Amino acid sequence: MEKLSKEFYLQNNVVSVAKQLLGKIITVNNKKQSQQFRIVETEAYRGYDDKACHASNGMTNRNKVMFKNGGICYVYLCYGIHHLFNVVTNTEGNADAVLIRAVEPLVIETVNTNGPGKWTKEAGITTELNGADLLKKEIFISEEDKSNFRPVVASKRIGVEYAGEHALRLWRFYFGDSDFVSKKFKQDKILINSSTID
C-alpha cells in the first residue's frame, strides 16, 4: 500500500479531506507492535471560522502544531485521560485538522477501536507522537488496495455543543455499514454524492 502524498495533506478543504480519509489505512509502528487500522469515522475542524476548532482563538502552546504544514499529527490529551489523534491539513498558518474518531482493526482480535480515545489506546498512540511526520515510518496513512463502495454518512460532530451554531455543521463522516463507528443517530444523512457537503 502506497503512503498518501504530501500534496494530499496540503489540500485546502479540510471537510473534503475528512471524507477522503474514510477507508484509508493507518499503520502504527511503535514499541508495542506494528498495527494497521482502516479509518471509518472522521471529523473536520477548520481554523479560521470554526468555534469547535482548537485554533479558533489563535495559536497556543497546545495547538501550535495545527498551524504547521499539513502531513503531521496533532495528538492531544482529552480530559487528562484520552489521547486523540488528528491529521493536520492545509498549508502553514491555516490550522485545519481532521480528528480520526474510529477505525476498524485489520487484525480481528483487536476489537476496542470504536471511539477516538479507545483506538489510540489500542494502538499505543500518545502525545509523544504530537507533530510526527505522516510520511515517515513510525505512523503513516496509505490507500487501501480494495475500492468497494461503502455508504458515507454525514452527521453533527460530537461533544462540541459549546460551539453554538458551528456545532450544527455536518462535518462528521462515517461508513454507515461499519460496526466500529462511535455513535449513529437516526437523523444522520446518507451522502449519495460525498461532495455535497463542504
Query: Which tens digits make up the pLDDT trace of 1-24?
Result: 799 999 999 999 999 999 999 999
* Burial class of residue 11, CB neighbours in 10 A (0-12, 13-18, 19+): middle
Q: pTM higher than 0.85 for the full model?
A: yes
Q: 155 or 148: which carries more pLDDT confidence?
A: 155
Q: 149 or 195: which carries more pLDDT confidence?
A: 149
- Rounded to whole angstroms, the Cα distance separating 109 from 105 reads 8
Pick the CATH number of 6-192 from 3.40.50.620, 3.10.300.10, 3.20.20.150, 3.30.1360.170: 3.10.300.10
CA distances from 133 to 71, 72, 173, 182, 191 (A): 6, 5, 24, 27, 31
Length of the chain: 198
Please tell me the number of Cα atoms within 13 Å of 64 on its side-chain side.
3
Q: Kindly report the average pLDDT of the chain as a whole number.
A: 92
